Structure 1
Amino acid sequence: MALSSLFRSSFQSRQPNGSDGVLSMPSARAILLSSVGCMLVLSLLMVASASIPFALSRGMTELKFFYNQLLYMGIGLAIAAISYRVVSLKTLYKTEIQFILLAITGALLFATLFSTPINGSKRWLSLGGFNFQVAELAKLVMIIFVSDFVVRRSFEVRNGWDGFLRIALVVGMITFLLLAQPDFGSFVVIIGMVFAIFYIAGAPYKQFIALGAVAVGGAVLMVATVQYRLVRVMSFLDPFDDVQDTDYQLARSLIAFGRGQFTGVGYGESVQKLSHLPEAHTDFLLAITGEELGFVGVTMILILEALIIGSAMRISYTALKRRQMRMSYTAFGIAVVFIAQTIINAAMNMGAIPTKGLTMPFFSYGGSSMLISLVMVAVLLKIYKESPEIEKSQCRYY
Structure 2
Amino acid sequence: DLDFWERMTFPLMGLSLLTLAMVFLPVIGVSVNGSHRWLNLIVVRLQPSELLKFALLLFISRYVVRKGELLGRLKEGLWPIFLVLGLLGVLLLLQPDFGSYAMVVLITGVLLFLGGLPLRYVLLAGLVAGGALGFLAISAPYRLARITAFQNPWADPYGAGFQLVQSLIAFGRGGIFGVGLGDGIMKYFYLPESYTDFILAVIGEELGLVGVWALAILYAIASWRIYRIGRRAAAAGDAFYALFCYGALTWFGGEAVLSMGVNLGALPTKGFALPLISYGGSALVFLCATLGVVLAVSRRYPPSKAAKSTQSAEVAHG
Fold conserved between structures, TM > 0.5: yes
Can you list the C-alpha shifts for 1:188-240, whole angstroms capped at 9, x where unaligned? 11110111111111111121222222112212221222110010001001011
Q: Which one-letter code corresponds to 1:202 in the other structure?
A: G
Give the match for residue 4 of structure 2: 91
1:362 CA drift (Å): 0.4
2 CA distance for matches of 1:373 and 1:116?
22
Partner in structure 1 of residue 275 of structure 2: 361
Q: Distance in 1 between matches of 2:233 and 2:214?
A: 29
* Mapped contact 1:158–1:201 kept (Cα < 8 A): no
Q: In 2, distance between residues paired with 1:104 and 1:232?
A: 33
Q: Is the 8 A contact 1:122 1:182 kept in 2?
A: yes
**Equivalent in 126, 130, 135 of residue 216 of structure 1:** 130
**Identity percentage of aligned residues:** 34
**What is the Cα deviation at residue 337 of structure 1?**
0.4
Structure 2 counterparts to residues 129-148 of structure 1, below 5 A: 129-148=43-62
Amino acid in the other structure paired with 1:197: L
How far apart, in 2, do the equivalents of 1:224 and 1:376 lie? 33
List aligned pairs for 1:281-320, cutoff 5 A: 281-320=195-234
Given candidates 227, 233, 236, the residue that maps to 2:147 is 233
Counting only pairs closer than 5 Å after superposition, residues 121-200 of structure 1 correspond to structure 2 as 121-160=35-74, 162-200=76-114
TM-score by length of 1: 0.73
The residue number in structure 1 matching 2:297 is: 383
Whether the 8 Å contact between 2:23 and 2:36 is mirrored in structure 1 is yes
Tell me if 1:105 matches 2:19: no
Once the two structures are superposed, what CA deviation does each residue of 1:264-306 show, in whole Å capped at 9, x if it has no partner?
1112221211201123111111001001100111112112212
Asked if 2 retains the 8 angstrom alpha-carbon contact of 1:159 and 1:204, the reply is: no
TM-superposition CA deviations, 1:343-389 (whole Å, max 9, x none): 1100000000111111011011111111111111110111112236x
Letter in 2 for 1:315: I
- What whole-Å deviation, never above 9, does each CA across 1:148-178 have from its counterpart, x for those lacking one? 1111001101455532212122222223211
Q: Distance in 1 between matches of 2:55 and 2:209?
A: 36
For 2:196, what is the secondary structure of its paired residue?
coil
Q: Aligned partners of 1:191 and 1:219: how far apart in 2? A: 10
Q: Helix, strand or coil: the match of 1:243?
A: coil
The one-letter amino acid of 1:89's match is L
Residue identity opposite 1:304 in structure 2: L
Stretch moving more, 162-171 or 288-297: 162-171
CA separation in 1, counterparts of 2:9 and 2:23? 21
> C-alpha offsets along residues 2-26 of structure 1, whole Å, 9 cap, x if unaligned?
xxxxxxxxxxxxxxxxxxxxxxxxx
* Separation (CA, whole Å) in 1 of partners of 2:4 and 2:282: 24
One-letter identity of the residue aligned with 1:130: V
Paired with 1:356 and 1:126, the residues of 2 have a C-alpha distance of: 24
For 2:20 and 2:74, how far apart are their aligned partners in 1?
Answer: 31
SS in 1 for 2:40: strand
Give yes or no for the alignment of 1:242 onto 2:156. Answer: yes
Cα distance in 2, alignment partners of residues 89 and 387 from structure 1:
12
For residues 110 and 244 of structure 2, the distance between their equivalents in structure 1, rounded to whole angstroms, comes to 11
Q: Deviations over 1:312-360 (max 9, x none)?
A: 1110001111111111001110011011100110000000011111101
1:283 aligned counterpart, secondary structure = coil
Tell me the residue number matched to 1:349.
263
Q: Distance in 2 between matches of 1:137 and 1:282?
A: 18
Rounded to whole Å, the distance in 2 between the matches of 1:129 and 1:228 is 33
Listed as ranges, the gaps of 5+ residues in structure 2 are 303-318
- 2:117 pairs with one of 190, 203, 206: 203
For 1:209 and 1:349, the matched residues in 2 are separated by 29
Q: Which has the higher contact order (CA 8 A, sep 6+)?
A: 1
**Structure 1 residue matching 2:13: 3-state secondary structure:** helix
SS at match of 1:124: strand
Of residues 222-231 and 158-167 in structure 1, the stretch that sits farther from structure 2 once superposed is 158-167
- In structure 2, the partner of 1:6 is none
Name the CA distance, whole Å, in 1 between partners of 2:125 and 2:193: 36
Asked if 1:328 is matched to 2:242, the reply is: yes
Is the CA contact 2:111–2:243 (under 8 Å) kept in the aligned structure 1?
yes
Which blocks of at least 5 consecutive residues in structure 1 are unaligned? Answer: 1-87, 389-398
TM-score scaled by length of structure 2? 0.90
Query: Where does structure 1 differ by over 6 angstroms across 4 or more consecutive aligned residues?
Result: none
Equivalent pair of 1:239/1:250 in contact (CA under 8 Å): yes
Contact 2:102–2:133, Cα closer than 8 Å, also in 1? no
